[in-house]
Each structure stands twice: as C-alpha cells, then as structure tokens.
Structure 1
C-alpha cells in the first residue's frame, strides 16, 4: 500500500470544476460508509472546502483514487486527470502537513483549514475509513501544524480586513474582554469583523443596519458565543457613546458618522478612548474625527498597508515553516519504516533465539553423554556462530552478484560499522 494525496485546489482548477467535485458532509458521510465495506480501498479521508477537494488514502494505485473521485461526482476521468495533482508517501505526508499548517492556502497561514482537516478526519473515523496507520499520519500532520503555528510567524500577522480590525482592537485596548463593539452595517465585510471580534471574546456586539432582517440574521449567527444587541439605524447617533470600537462599512454615498456626533459621544464617555475603523468607500466616518484626543481612526488604506506588510512577513516566515514541515515529514516516514522493520527484526531475533536453544540442547546432550566439556563448548560455539552468520553471508554473496556495485559497498560498510572489530573488519578489505 502507498499513501497518496490526490485532489484539486485553487492552484490547479477553476471554481466551476471545484464546485463539481465538492462534497457536503451528508453526501460524503454516505459515500465513506459505502467505501468502508469495499475491498479495493477503504482507508481514506476526504478534505473538501471551497478551495480544495483532496483524497488522502492508503491505496494500491493513483488510478483507483482518480476513478473514485471522478465517479462519485459524475466527472469524466479524462477531464479531471488534467487538473489533479498526486503526491506519494513522503511527498504526500509533506503536502498534508502544508495544508494543515495553512502553507498551501489561498490566504497564506489562514487558521481555519486546520479545523476543516480535523473535521474531515473525524467524519472518516465515524464512517470506518481510517486505519491506525492513516490516523498516525494525520496526528503527525496536526503536530506539524502546531509546531508551525507556535515556532514560526506564519500565522501571527493579520492578512484579512476582518482579522486586522480585531488585532488592532487588541493592540489599542488592554482588556478586550471588556469591549463593546458597534457594527455599522451587517454586510459581508462587517460580518467577518464581528466574527473575529466574537472569537476574541469581547463583552458585547451592537449591530446597526438599515435592514432589520440582515441585522437579526448576523445577531443569530453570533448569539451562541456572545451577547448581541440589534439597534435601529435611525438611533445610531445616540448609541455611539456605548461603543469602544466602531466598525463601519455601509456603502452609503454620504458620511453616516460625523465629527459632531463623535465629539458628543466622546464627551458622554468621559473621554475614554475609542477606536473607529472605516471600511467603506466612499468613507462613512468624517476623517476630521482623527484630531480628537482619545480617538483612533483607521481607514481602508491604513489597514491595507498593515496587511501588505504582514503578508510579506508571513511569506518570509513560510520559508522557515517549509523547512520544518519537510523535516517533520521525513521523521514520520523514518518512524514508519522503523515500525515496519520492527516486525522483521523481531522475527529475525526469534529465529536466532530458536537456533540458540537447539544448539544448547544438543550441547547438553553431549555433556550428559560424558563427552569432554571443552570440546563440547568449542563445537557449540562453532555451530552457533556459523548458523547466526549464515544469513549475512548469503546477503553478501547475493550482493556481489547484483549489477549495482554500490549495493555491495553499502552492505559491507554497514556490516563493518556494526561489527566494530578491527580483526573482523580486515576480512572485508
């Protein structure tokens, strides 16, 4: 069996093709349950996100996986074959580690993919398609991802607007768990900001949107993890003072937060500092509020500059992370080879022990028959040595016959190292 990583991602396939071979959890669950009962291959995990669909499996051939991925999605094998990538063994292990670490993501270092890979493994386990061997590979990939996160700077710099706002709030305020955050508009951008803020553990999020339905929808999405309140858009001005952080992204043609309103809110707050983030173009917030003491105003350009700098730092850190991942992949493959060799070594040692017992029993018989003890021991040592060295002698003779002389040299060198006896080594020269 070979360990394969086969699939498509944002590098190799269009979004249209990725959509056609994507799996939702329910359908994938059914397919895995069926596959768990097959003899051809039944040891697999499928990772399916908006940017990738990948099959990680122990299988006999690449073609088996390609046909399965194409067949389960009604896509021609010939069409899919031009877009898939396939890695084997150590390259497959390295690829899985890179995926779990966010090194292969559209947004370098993004953390969500690790949770998605863990969910994929959990689903496959529940459906019975994960052997102990495959599980060890994934466990080691998660270990690699943890090492990359903790020992490199790949994931430590904000590279999305939503995450950048949350990180900015964390820098301005020493106790994020006490913050009240006001979201002015509940569109896609502010929804991401709100979710990052909720993940950061702020005290409360206020949502102010022109349409009450969308505001309530976002509130429902956040309510399971944080205190949320929806306020009417018409009442925005009278609620400004409640917010430590304001993120605005309305898409309005006119400013929705003016200088006078912020100055009044600041006074009602007894001049406690405020962080205002204007993600809108045209701008939602009067830029003059930046002159007010205690007010920090950031616009799209400010954040983009930070993001660009952080992305450059991530790319630099990714070089270090790639080296780490490759080293860890080699370690895992070495460990697997040692595990496999362990059985062979154990069998060889058992055979040696059996020979020892046979020869010992024979020597004892001769002693009981009254034969000379010294002669018996001499014969015992001679016979035991010959039998134990016989396999190595056969290997050396067969190595000489091979067309590749380096095989014999490798075998000779390692036997010399094992014996470590000058009197024995002279016979190899």
Structure 2
C-alpha cells in the first residue's frame, strides 16, 4: 500500500528579523553575524536535527531564515553562537512564518524592506549568505534553493520592469551623496577609505563615478584584497600599519570595516585638522566619542539614510508595481510547493494507470497479435489528461487529497484485482 504524504502540513519556513525598523545602530551591532560564526551555527543546527537555517547579516538587518518546526530553538542556537541572550533577541525580532516569511524574503530581495528603498545591494548579500550556508551544510535544501532562486528572479524583474532603483541611493552612494552636498572643492580633498569589503568597494566605485579624479587612498588589514581594488581603480593602497600617519593628512575618512568593536577612536586624531568621518560599519567601528573632537564631524549609517529623501519619494511611487511582481512570483512558488508535496500521490496515480494500460495492451496483443501505434499514442495522451485532472483536483483541494488518493488507489488497484480473481 502506498504511504501518502501529509498534505495538510504546510511549510515550516520562518524568518526571525532584527532590522533598523525596531533597532538602532548600536542594538543591531549586538546581533551582527560574522563569517567565523557560520560553521559552528550551521553544524549545531544540523546536529540537533533542527532543519536548516542561514543568516543574512548586513548594516541594516540580521535575519535568520529557517525550515524548522521550532524556530525558537534555532534562534536560541543563534544567540549562543554570537553570545547574546535569547530574550534580548526576541525583544527586537519580528517573527514571520509560512507564506508571510516567504513574502518577506521576496520584499527584502526586492529592496522594499531596505532602509533606502530600492537598495539592491541586499540581493547580493542574500546570495552570499546562502552560498556560505550550502558550503558548510555540504548539500542544498530544495525549498530554500527554490526560494532563493525565486528571490533572485524577483530582484531582476523589479529592476527591469519598474523604476524603483532609479537614482542611486544605496548605503555606499549615500556616503558619496553626503560628501557631494557637504564638502567644497571635493577634488582637492584627501579621501582615505578603510576597509574594502563589499560596501567599501561600492563606495570606491561611487566616488570614482561621481567625483572628477578624486584623491582616494585605501587601506585594509588584508593587503592582497586591497591590492586588487587598488589595481582595478588605479588608486594608491597604503599599508594598514601606516594608517595613523596617513590619517593626519586626511580630509575625509570613510570606515567600512567589519570589526566587532570600534577600531578608530579619539586617540587617532592628534591635530586640529578638520576631518569628516563616515562610519559605514555595523556594529560601529568608529567610537562615538570621536564626534566630541572640535574639528571632527562623525556621520553613521542611520544619519546617511536621511540625506536622500527626494529619491526615496520617487521610488515609493513604484512600490505597487514591485508588489504585483512579488504577488505573482509568490503564487507561482506556492503552486510549485503544492505540486512538490503532492508529487508522490500524482506519480502513484499515473503509475497505476500506466500499469493498467500495459496489462490491457498485453491482453489485447495476445488476442489479436497486433497493436496499432496510433492507439498507443492515444492511450498515452488519455493517461496524461486524466493524470492532469487528478493533479489539478488534489492541488485545488489539498484537504481532500489524502482521501481522494486513497479512494483512487482502492478503485484502480484493489478493485481490479478482485474482479480479476472473480473471472479467473
């Protein structure tokens, strides 16, 4: 007897999200997830049989995406990994499940949940986070794989079909936008970028794009990485050990590092030079006390987001178009999930019909010593048509799927055998 899947069980997909909407920069920094945490977290989730989970951690949000029946246990393991209390995490977390969680993933990928609407840097961060998860997990999760691929497609469609990304307004551009609006003779300013990760690289790209021949230097703990950026944009790369010396001649310092605590503090500013310091890091990598220095202005991520409201207002008009795309893609995903869950039922139904066909063809051939190829093709088409109708019915009526599947099994498998035994 076939073992039917429990079609009444919906997906265990959930997301636990801490974002700028509830938590300020300082709070978000406490829950930041670093690369060295990945292996321990993924391994622990797997060893405790808690399904799968991966973490997206950016300057604006930290989110756990998981396929588990107990997302609070996953959250607890996450908190143990990064050294925070679960109660503190839950205080700031939004928890979404099932279709709401899926829709949230799509909205995040589309830039609709970004602090700066239409910021598509997030989709690259989601892809990288899932790739790191797969590397440690050593295999993929079909549900997550499909969900991430759909998120990527949604991001592409919204970029191509709406104007929600018109007018650059990413976090990295916001820094450049601030410089353009608050600094005179920018081409004469000495700019030092500390940290050449994804945001740092994007900042360099925006500086080169929007400032004519900017005087930029870069510094990074890993020289190899900095050397590649230096070569790509033809800008000087200084040794990290020379940072203090270089800072004394810097007009604009942009910090885009990924340290767990501030690496730039008041002691770094020994002269009276006017300096603009922009901290793009989460958690803060520039000590807030730096802002107390007379000639130093400190700007962080939250402050930058306020500088581009005009662009945001234009993008907001495109939100309905983006939401319609998300609605369509969410519907497609749910249809795929229904078919995936009911696939064993559908395959079994078709296999029974094919078996009946083979038996009937065999009896017909024994009697007539001939079978017309057109009859076989017609039979195949009829089986596929009947299977499609069966599939559509149980997909449209999932609560009846088990009952109908068992009933069809009794009619098509058990009853014919009884009839056969009666005749023979």
Same fold (TM over 0.5): yes
Q: Distance in 2 between matches of 1:25 and 1:12?
A: 24
- How many residue pairs get matched? 301
2:30 aligns with one of 8, 13, 20: 20
2:152 aligns with one of 128, 142, 151: 142
Partner of 2:378: none
Partner of 2:140: 130
Alignment map for 1:141-220 (pairs within 5 Å): 141-159=151-169, 163=173, 182=187, 184-186=189-191, 195-197=204-206, 200=209, 205-207=214-216, 215=217, 217=219
2:119 aligns with one of 96, 106, 110: 110
More relative contact order, 1 or 2 (CA 8 Å, 6+ apart): 2
Partner of 2:337: 336
Partner of 1:57: 66
Matched, 1:84 2:93: yes
Partner of 1:226: 233
Q: Distance in 1 between matches of 2:26 and 2:156?
A: 33
* 1:105 shift after superposition: 0.9
Q: Distance in 2 between matches of 1:91 and 1:358?
A: 48
| Cα distance change, pair 306–62 in 1 and its aligned pair in 2 (3 A) | closer
Alignment map for 1:379-390 (pairs within 5 Å): none
Contact 1:160 1:307 in 2 (8 A): no
* 1:305 shift after superposition: 12
Where 1:225 maps in the other structure, the secondary structure is helix
TM-score normalised by L of structure 2:
0.57
* 1:111 shift after superposition: 2.5
Alignment map for 1:280-319 (pairs within 5 Å): 307-319=308-320
TM-score normalised by L of structure 1:
0.56
Matched, 1:94 2:96: no
* Structure 1, 101-110 or 56-65: larger mean CA deviation: 56-65
Q: Which structure 1 residue ranges, 5 or more long, are not aligned?
A: 168-180, 208-214, 237-250, 254-281, 283-303, 369-387, 412-429
* 1:126 shift after superposition: 0.7
Contact 2:121 2:170 in 1 (8 A): no
Contact 1:206 1:229 in 2 (8 A): no
* Structure 1, 340-349 or 30-39: larger mean CA deviation: 30-39
Contact 1:204 1:226 in 2 (8 A): no
Q: Which structure 2 residue ranges, 5 or more long, are not aligned?
A: 1-10, 178-185, 195-199, 238-245, 251-271, 275-294, 296-304, 369-385, 405-424
| Cα distance change, pair 77–316 in 1 and its aligned pair in 2 (3 A) | same
* Structure 1, 221-230 or 63-72: larger mean CA deviation: 221-230
Alignment map for 1:213-292 (pairs within 5 Å): 215=217, 217=219, 222-228=229-235
| Cα distance change, pair 340–121 in 1 and its aligned pair in 2 (3 A) | same
Where 1:55 maps in the other structure, the secondary structure is strand
| Cα distance change, pair 156–182 in 1 and its aligned pair in 2 (3 A) | same
* 1:117 shift after superposition: 1.0
CA offset digits 1:46-82 (Å, max 9, x no partner): 1112221111121123333333333333433334333
| Cα distance change, pair 158–335 in 1 and its aligned pair in 2 (3 A) | same
Contact 1:90 1:330 in 2 (8 A): no
Matched, 1:119 2:128: yes
| Cα distance change, pair 306–113 in 1 and its aligned pair in 2 (3 A) | closer
* Structure 1, 328-337 or 77-86: larger mean CA deviation: 77-86
* 1:204 shift after superposition: 5.3
